[in-house]
Amino acid sequence: MLVLGIESSCDETGVALVQCGDTPQPQLLAHALHSQVAMHHAFGGVVPELASRDHIRRVVPLAREVLERARLELGDVDLVAYTRGPGLAGALLVGAGVACGLGAALQRPLLGVHHLEGHLLSAFLSSDPPQFPFVALLVSGGHTQLMYARGVGDYALLGETIDDAAGEAFDKSAKLLGLGYPGGPALAHLAQRGDAAGFALPRPMLHTPDLDFSFAGLKTAVLTQVRRKEGSACDAWRADLAAATQEAIVDVLVSKSMRALRDTGLSRLVVAGGVGANSRLRERLDAACSRARTRVHYPELPLCSDNGAMIALAAAMRVEAGVASPRRDLTFDVKPRWAMHELNSTEDHGSAA
């Protein structure tokens, strides 16, 4: 089965082709991405209307590009998958609308995919794919969650952030340090030159017995440091503060992930989402998992942040596992707000036959 996946939930247009069924592992044949970061940069964050309009401009050329790279034609596609939610309503509608149009023109079925399920499954496209069951640490721009993943479409929420997501903590702290949007990668880059011991920043909920997170207090602590230094911050000072911020976020993520493994008795951790690209997080998780004799899996770096491959993959895995049946009628909807734990193996999301 050849799946064309379209991702358009936020500020990245992603299109990909995934082949499954012929080999034990799904194969990524091609993927292409257009990031809107430069366009939104001037505004310090994503402007939803601009995002939607840009998705409209990009999605068809990107689809052509992946088909050319894979030396395939539209008629070869068996299933058209799109991100159904969560995300920006207008942006989601672009991907859903194009998917529906393609489905109609090609007379192929459609499947709407949960964006976070896409992230959660993206490690299955890596050279070291995981096996169920596992604990998933989902760390994206808007979500920080620990999930118990029993199988495709069978996820239980173990804990989540009660305020800001880890990605938000990176982005907001980066903004305070004058690093622009989205600040996570820039803060991580600056942190490489800094000394994390230079500041004692809070690690909210580090020792609570639950699996929840809180990052809002960290941003306030960074703001306090920045205000104190107003106007006289040198590069070395900013690098130290970046390193300390990163270390505080990573400390909490590692500690709660290890607690989730202990609490569930599982011996496999899968990291997913944009923050999963952070090298300090990977280094610390590798060390903690090796001490605990636990396996840890990551998506390939380009597949940590939003992309079409994870959407095509999730659709393929849902169909193969029999938890979703693609729809053949020409209606679609999007779910801008959609909790991941609402997914379960019996429900048929965006996929009424």
Name the site residues for ligand KG4 (rule: CB under 6 A): 119, 140-142, 167, 170-171, 182-185, 188, 273-275, 277-278, 305-306
Q: How far is the CB of 113 from Zn ion (least distance, A)?
A: 12
Q: Which is nearer to ligand KG4, 42 or 234 (CB)?
A: 42
Q: Which of 156, 275, 262, 266 is nearest to 215 (CA)?
A: 275
User: Which of the residues 48 through 87 are near Zn ion (CB under 5 A)?
Assistant: none
Beta strands 144-151 and 134-139 are antiparallel
Q: Which is nearer to ligand KG4, 28 or 277 (CB)?
A: 277
245 binds, among ligand KG4, Zn ion, none (CB under 5 to 8 A by kind): none
Report the 3 state secondary structure along 299-331.
CCHHHCCCCHHHHHHHHHHHHHHCCCCCECCCC
Q: What torsion do the CA atoms of 90, 95, 99, 100 make, to the nearest 10 degrees?
A: 0
- Closer by beta carbon to ligand KG4, 108 or else 143: 143
Give the DSSP H/E element, type plus range, for residue 13. strand 12-19
- Count Cβ neighbours within 10 Å for each residue of 221-235 and write b for 16 or more, e otherwise: bbeebbeeeeeeeee
Counting other chains too, the contacts that 38-44 makes at CB distance below 8 Å and 24 or more residues apart are: 40/11, 40/181, 41/180, 41/181, 43/181, 44/175, 44/180, 44/181
Question: At closest approach, how far in Å is the CB of 55 from Zn ion?
Answer: 14
Choice between 117 and 306, CB closer to Zn ion: 306
Distance separating the N- and C-terminal Cα atoms of the chain? 18
Q: Count the alpha carbons within 13 Å of 241 in the hemisphere toward its beta carbon.
A: 25
Residues 317, 314: Cα–Cα separation, whole Å: 5
The entry of Zn ion, ligand KG4, none that residue 277 binds, CB within 5 to 8 Å by partner kind:
ligand KG4
User: Considering beta carbons, is residue 278 or 351 the nearer one to ligand KG4?
Assistant: 278
CA distance 199 to 201: 6
Total residues in contact with Zn ion, by rule CB under 5 A = 2
User: Which of 36, 83, 122, 140: binder of Zn ion (CB under 5 A)?
Assistant: 140
What's the closest the beta carbon of residue 86 comes to Zn ion, in angstroms? 9
140 vs 173 by CB, closer to Zn ion: 140
- Contact partner, 112, from ligand KG4, Zn ion, none, Cβ < 5-8 Å per class: none
Residue 109 interacts with which of ligand KG4, Zn ion, none, CB < 5 to 8 Å by class: none
107: left (phi over 0), alpha (psi -120 to 50) or beta: left
Least distance from ligand KG4 to the Cβ atom of residue 150, Å: 23
> How many Å apart are CA 311 and CA 94, to the nearest integer?
15
Q: Rule CB under 5 A: is residue 306 a binding residue for Zn ion?
A: yes
* Residue 138 CB, nearest approach to ligand KG4 (Å): 9
Stretch that binds Zn ion, among 55-63, 88-96, 104-112, 298-306 (CB under 5 A): 298-306
Q: Least distance (Å) from ligand KG4 to the CB of residue 318?
A: 19
CA neighbor of 55 nearest in space, from 96, 95, 111 = 95
99 is in the binding site of which of ligand KG4, Zn ion, none (Cβ under 5 to 8 A by kind)? none
User: Using CB under 5 A as the criterion, which residues of the chain lie in contact with Zn ion when the complex forms?
Assistant: 140, 306
